[in-house]
Amino acid sequence: MNRRQFVSAAAAAAAIFARVPNVLAASYDLLIKGGLVIDPSVGLDAIRDLAIVGGRIAAVDPNIAAEATETIDARGKIVAPGLIDIHTHAGRSEDGPKLALQDGVTGWIDAGSGGADNIDQVAAVARGAPQIGRILVNIARTGVTAAGELHDINAANVALAQGAIARHRDVVVGVKARLSENVAGANDLEALRRAQEAAAPFNLPVMIHIGQTVSPMRAILPLLKRGDIVTHMYAPAPNGILDDQGRLFADVAAARRRGVIFDFGNGVADHFDWPTVERAVKQGFWPDTFSTDWNVMSKTTGVVDFPNVISKFLMFGMPLSQVVACATVNAARAFPSFDNRGTLNVGAPADVAILELREGTFEFLDNYKGTRTGRQRLFPAGTVIEGKRVPVRA
């Protein structure tokens, strides 16, 4: 019996005997020492040591005095559950998932890069990813296209989409429909109906991309069910979540109450501007989840990385623990694939994001060249995936 098995055996014995002499728990694979552990899934926000053995969280306690094969000094840093980004395009290329992992992203959803015609490649990237990668199949058989994949409504083929889901049940976890006029023209509602029809027999959620749609939100929202996701929630007019006076539509608040999830979805063009964010959050309409709409080029855009995107909400006054919740446990709850993720609870797979919260002057971009200056920004400072340390991006 090696030491790791010994510790595992001790943990098993603990369940039976309820009391284990300390000496038995004296060795871990990895210790993350002295960080500010923020785990909203268990309401923890305190300086703690975190011990990992066999790829799982073994202990979260003040001052764990034990040996470990490897130790990370996390003093002055934040230790959070691995970040989960529910709107990315990480599945477009093989190097995407590895790059995202270096930003602390231990789970991602590729939202519609592929449709029935090309989902096999995206599925292969997801299966080969170092972290949990999952896919929303685009209701348009082509996946995302630059010209807009839904101008011809025949591209939204329900049978083909269902075939794609059936072929890839292990990685496809929902359906995506991009509804903006430049993607779908006047086909927005019909495309959404077809997305729901494709998802229904599999009991999967639909994610819609809103903003500058032909149809108003009051026509779109009734087509959404509990657990569906609205991404690009702060897209400016026409046909966003605010009326002409900047007030939140009552139907939008009602949709949230009945379980529709509202996701930030940063992206690069359209999708959000500062005035819309400001008006919405002043009315208490914060995101349920953040997401980047990330791809391998995001480093050079206003996205930069996931920690940068979530820092935008620190600037608007969202408390740090709430910011971490949106990027971890809230995102995990949106998809059953992440059931045991988004937490540092003992026994959970050890996916950890180490972040540095720097104070200073930081400029943040919206998608209309608007800049705002914040006083804090989160930086990726280390990732652990299932107990294994990942090198930080240079």
Residues that bind Zn ion (CB under 5 A): 111, 293
Q: Please say which residue, 111 or 354, places its beta carbon nearer to Zn ion.
A: 111
What tokens does 201 get? Answer: 């027999």
What is the nearest approach in angstroms of Zn ion to the Cβ of residue 124? Answer: 20
Q: Which residue sits closest to Zn ion, CB atoms considered?
A: 293
Specify the residue, 111 or 381, whose C-beta has the smaller distance to Zn ion. Answer: 111
Tokens 């976890």 -> residue = 173
Q: How far is the CB of 270 from Zn ion (least distance, A)?
A: 11
What is the spatial distance between Cα 129 and Cα 386, in angstroms, rounded to a whole number? 13
83-88: strand order across its sheet: 83-88, 105-111, 132-138, 172-178, 206-209, 229-231, 261-262
Nearest in space to 82 (alpha carbons), one of 350, 326, 261, 276: 350
Q: Are 80 and 352 in contact (CB under 8 A)?
A: yes
Closer of 105 and 111 to Zn ion (Cβ): 111
| Smaller CB separation from Zn ion, 34 or 112 | 112
- Residue 9 and residue 14: Cα distance in Å, rounded? 8
Nearest to 179, CA basis, from 119, 125, 228: 228
Tell me the HSE value of 266 on the side-chain side, using a 13 A CA sphere. 27
Least Å distance between CB 308 and Zn ion?
A: 17
| Least CB distance to Zn ion at residue 267 (A) | 6
When the beta carbons of 81 and 143 are compared against Zn ion, the nearer one is 143
Q: CB of residue 211 vs Zn ion: minimum separation in angstroms?
A: 11
Closer by beta carbon to Zn ion, 273 or else 293 = 293
Query: Min. distance of Cβ 213 from Zn ion in angstroms?
Result: 15
State how far the Cα of 83 lies from the Cα of 25, in Å rounded to an integer: 28
